[in-house]
């Protein structure tokens, strides 16, 4: 089988795993804050379970990337599914016995899963040609469109399935999701790189790679776009509950947010090939800013829908554009360490944003969660402008 056919088959497999395994992400986002609110003594810590998930994801992002570099993508993803299985079990147990710390342990295991799932998009590019890479990344993330249907629907059907323990049924369903999603991974065909002798430098140092404007801007915009989305998404269910909306209504808003996150992925890669990374990332940043303006305008249901849909669309363009841009800034030998550093930095800022979200919502209100996006978006926009000027300067030097 040719490398191109293997790459396309891998994309199909990763689409499946993104769709099935990825659905637990929306379950955690919908219920993490609500479960935390039910168990936490200090209500400002309601979003702490989500923050623990994201913090654990940050801690494990780089080790998981190196693990995959040594033992293969498949083994790394199976390890993540096993962690997700345990996470669902501990979260359900924590709710059943009323122990906040057990819920946090479960959230940490879910974070380990999340650190592996972040590499689905990079795995899609491993065997792809340069032309196919943006489409491969985009198509795998499109699996999130299916997860947008599965995850919120599981919340609807199972959140109250165990009458004595609200939300526990959904976390038990997470255990099933990890078993079902794992089966597809056995069809993944990505060769493992030959291990290098200890002490041998593989490629350039990370600092040298990040000195490239392309790499620096790709990492920074990936961090800010994901953190901006998380800042708002983390407290959405809690904000809606505060304003009198039901869990089912919050699940539906989150469903359409996730649809907006992943539905454009069927053509985002083509847009990158046609218009370039910079224009797609810039469009994403503008839409993220528009989402904040919409959501801060009011707390009626229509503003929750419109704001969260725009938030998902902006994330799609900015984050996929950044991910694709990063693959142009490192060699295959540098892949594991650079992707690990990237996802560690992304997860770190995302974890901080998730914790800040609950505090801002509790202390100042929903509209201030939107205002908090502004500094990061301005910084990301400035970095894109710097990249454009750097590329023009380099082009003039070549022509001279």
pLDDT tens per residue across span 284-342: 999 999 999 999 888 888 899 999 999 999 999 999 899 888 888 877 777 777 877 88
Percent of the chain at pLDDT > 90 equals 30
Structure tokens at 342: 């990237």
Q: Give every CB contact of residue 302 below 8 A, 6+ residues apart in sequence.
A: none
d(CA 286, CA 284): 5
196 part of a folded domain: no
CA–CA distance, 356 with 39 (Å, rounded to integer): 19
How far is 235 from 238, CA to CA, in rounded Å? Answer: 5
- CA-nearest of 324, 326, 304, 224 to 260 is 304
C-beta separation of 133 from 325 below 8 A:
no
Ranges 186-190, 271-275, 279-283, most confident: 279-283
Pair of tokens at residue 107: 């959230």
Question: Is residue 197 a part of any domain in this protein?
Answer: no
With beta carbons less than 8 A apart as the criterion, state whether 172 and 92 touch: yes
Residue 100 lies in a domain: yes
> Which pLDDT score, from 0 to 100, does residue 139 have?
80
* CATH assignment of the domain containing 101: 1.20.1250.20
Give the model confidence (pLDDT) of 136-192 as tens digits: 877 887 787 788 788 888 888 887 888 778 888 999 999 999 999 999 888 887 766
Residues 70, 126: contact at Cβ < 8 Å? no
Note whether residue 268 is domain-resident.
yes
pLDDT for residue 280 is more than 90: yes
Q: In the chain, how many domains are there? A: 1
Cβ count within 10 A of residue 348: 18
Q: Which one, of 301, 23, 332, 309, lies nearest residue 156 by Cα?
A: 23
Q: Is 80 exceeded by the pLDDT of residue 101?
A: yes
* Distance of alpha carbon 388 from the chain centroid: 26
For residue 153, give both structure tokens: 């629907």
Task: Indicate whether 192 belongs to any domain.
Answer: no
Residue 215 has pLDDT above 70, yes or no: yes
Residue 341: inside a domain: yes
DSSP secondary structure letter of residue 165: S
The more confident residue out of 262 and 382 is 382
Q: How far apart are CA 122 and CA 140, in angstroms?
A: 9
- Ranges assigned E (strand) in 6-142: none
Task: Evaluate whether 238 touches 34 at the Cβ level (below 8 Å).
Answer: yes
Least confident piece of the model among 18-32, 89-103, 268-282: 18-32
Q: Report the range out of 15-24, 55-64, 246-255 with the highest average pLDDT.
A: 15-24
Residue 199 is assigned to a structural domain of this protein: no
DSSP type of residue 400: -
Measured from the Cβ of residue 200, the count of other Cβ atoms closer than 10 Å reads 7
Rounded Cα–Cα distance for residues 208 and 38 (Å): 47
316-332: pLDDT as tens digits = 999 989 988 888 887 77
Domain holding 172, by residue range, is 3-187+205-399
CA distance linking residue 21 with residue 81, whole number of Å: 8
Q: Indicate whether 81 pLDDT > 90.
A: yes
Report how far residue 317's alpha carbon sits from residue 228's, in angstroms, rounded to the nearest whole number.
13
**Is residue 38's pLDDT more than 60?**
yes
| In a domain? residue 193 | no
Cα(129)–Cα(3) distance, integer angstroms:
9
Write down the mean pLDDT value for the chain: 85
Across residues 237-244, what is the average pLDDT? 85
Higher confidence at residue 388 or residue 200?
388
Identify the pLDDT of residue 237: 83
Q: How far apart are CA 95 and CA 163, in angstroms?
A: 12
What is residue 245's DSSP assignment?
-
């Amino acid at each position: 089988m040719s490398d191109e056919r293997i790459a396309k088959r891998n994309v199909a497999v990763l689409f499946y795993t993104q769709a099935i395994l990825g659905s637990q992400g929306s379950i955690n986002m919908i219920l993490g804050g609500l479960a935390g609110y039910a168990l936490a003594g200090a209500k400002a810590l309601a979003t702490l379970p989500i923050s623990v998930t994201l913090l654990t994801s940050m801690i494990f992002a780089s080790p998981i990337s190196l693990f995959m570099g040594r033992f293969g993508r498949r083994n790394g993803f199976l390890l993540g599914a096993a962690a997700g299985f345990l996470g669902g079990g501990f979260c359900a147990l924590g709710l059943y016995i009323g122990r906040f710390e057990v819920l946090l342990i479960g959230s940490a295991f879910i974070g380990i899963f999340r650190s592996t799932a972040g590499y689905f998009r990079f795995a899609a590019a491993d065997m792809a040609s340069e032309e196919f890479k943006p489409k491969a990344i985009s198509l795998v993330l499109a699996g999130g469109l299916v997860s947008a249907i599965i995850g919120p629907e599981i919340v609807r059907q199972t959140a109250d399935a165990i009458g004595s323990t609200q939300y526990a049924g959904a976390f038990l369903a997470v255990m099933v999701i990890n078993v079902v999603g794992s089966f597809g991974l056995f069809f993944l065909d990505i060769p493992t790189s030959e291990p290098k002798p200890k002490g041998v430098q593989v490629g350039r140092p990370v600092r040298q790679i990040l000195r490239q404007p392309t790499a620096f801007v790709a990492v920074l915009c990936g961090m800010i776009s994901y953190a901006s989305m998380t800042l708002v998404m983390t407290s959405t269910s809690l904000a809606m509950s505060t304003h009198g909306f039901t869990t089912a209504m919050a699940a539906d808003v989150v469903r359409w947010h996730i649809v907006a996150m992943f539905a454009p992925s069927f053509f985002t890669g083509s847009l990158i090939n046609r218009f370039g990374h910079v224009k797609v990332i810039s469009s994403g940043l503008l839409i993220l800013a528009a989402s904040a303006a919409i959501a801060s305008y009011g707390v009626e249901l229509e503003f929750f829908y419109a704001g969260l849909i725009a938030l998902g669309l902006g994330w799609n363009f900015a984050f996929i554009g950044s991910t694709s841009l990063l693959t142009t800034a490192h060699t295959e030998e540098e892949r594991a360490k650079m992707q690990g550093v990237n996802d560690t930095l992304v997860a770190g800022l995302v974890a901080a944003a998730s914790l800040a979200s609950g505090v801002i919502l509790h202390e100042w209100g929903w509209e201030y969660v939107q205002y908090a996006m502004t500094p990061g978006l301005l910084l990301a926009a400035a970095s894109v402008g710097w990249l454009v000027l750097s590329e023009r300067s380099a082009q003039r030097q070549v022509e001279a």
